[in-house]
Amino acid sequence: NAGVTQTPKFQVLKTGQSMTLQCAQDMNHEYMSWYRQDPGMGLRLIHYSVGAGITDQGEVPNGYNVSRSTTEDFPLRLLSAAPSQTSVYFCASSPRYTGTAELFFGEGSRLTVL
Amino acid sequence: RKEVEQDPGPFNVPEGATVAFNCTYSNSASQSFFWYRQDCRKEPKLLMSVYSSGNEDGRFTAQLNRASQYISLLIRDSKLSDSATYLCVVTLTGNQFYFGTGTSLTVIP
């Protein structure tokens, strides 16, 4: 009954460090996406993918990279962490990319950049 | 300009009360509409989709007004377990979901 699994749940980084947030889903969903949630800002889309080998930018892509080599996995890479990237990150998947299907979220990853 | 605007609240209502949330969206080409619920420090979960004709799920009723570009959620007979943040969500193209900042609800015994 895994659904969408994110790791790690908590991470503290120093400015300039790099890291990867992992996201895996076992529902064979075509669509996967990454959001960040900040107080007063709501969830904002960082990157999304409509299938293996296909990725695209969302509202706030700067400072983040993604790849989708398999249907199941959609890692988010922070190349050089900045304090402005302190946030809660959510990975979400959906069975279709038509915008009519439910988004299933992981439990979130809380990142602090010092 | 934000794609989706919500009153952040907080709304504090007694058990059994009826409460309504509104949400406006800026792009008339928006395609699909949803309400999600997010408990404190948890992930969002779908509460209900919103259809043009309006739809009901138990104590929850959602309405869409395309002419005025707003979406509403009505909760009747509020329960303590309804305490959460309610997120309004719209899609513009099929690939991008836009979330409102959420409306906080606390149901008081």
Q: Does position A2 have pLDDT exceeding 80, yes or no?
A: no
Q: What is the pLDDT of residues B57-108, one digit of tens each?
A: 999 999 999 999 999 999 999 999 999 999 999 988 767 889 999 999 999 9
- Tell me how crowded residue B57 is: count the other CB atoms within 10 A of its CB: 11
| Distance to chain A for B1, nearest Cα, Å | 12
Q: Does position A92 have pLDDT exceeding 90, yes or no?
A: yes
* Residue to test with chain B: of A103, A104, A109, most B Cβ within 10 A: A103
Q: Say which amino acid occupies B38.
A: Q
Residue B56, token pair as written in the block: 């009901």
Q: What is the pLDDT of residues A33-73, one digit of tens each?
A: 999 999 888 899 999 999 999 999 999 999 999 999 999 99
Contacts of A108 in chain B (CB under 8 A): 42-43
C-beta of residue A32 within 8 angstroms of C-beta of residue A50: no
Return the higher-pLDDT residue of A24 and A102: A24
Closest residue in B to A91 (Cα) is B43
Q: Coil, helix or strand for A114?
A: coil
Average pLDDT score over residue span B23-49: 94
Q: Cβ B4–A42 below 8 Å, yes or no?
A: yes
| Distance to chain B for A92, nearest Cα, Å | 10
Tell me which residue in B44, B92, B95 faces A48 most closely, judged by beta carbons: B95
Closest residue in B to A47 (Cα) is B96
β-strands B103-108, B11-14: how paired?
parallel
Helix-then-strand count for chain B, H and E: 0, 11
Distance in angstroms (rounded) separating the CA atoms of residues B32 and B27: 12
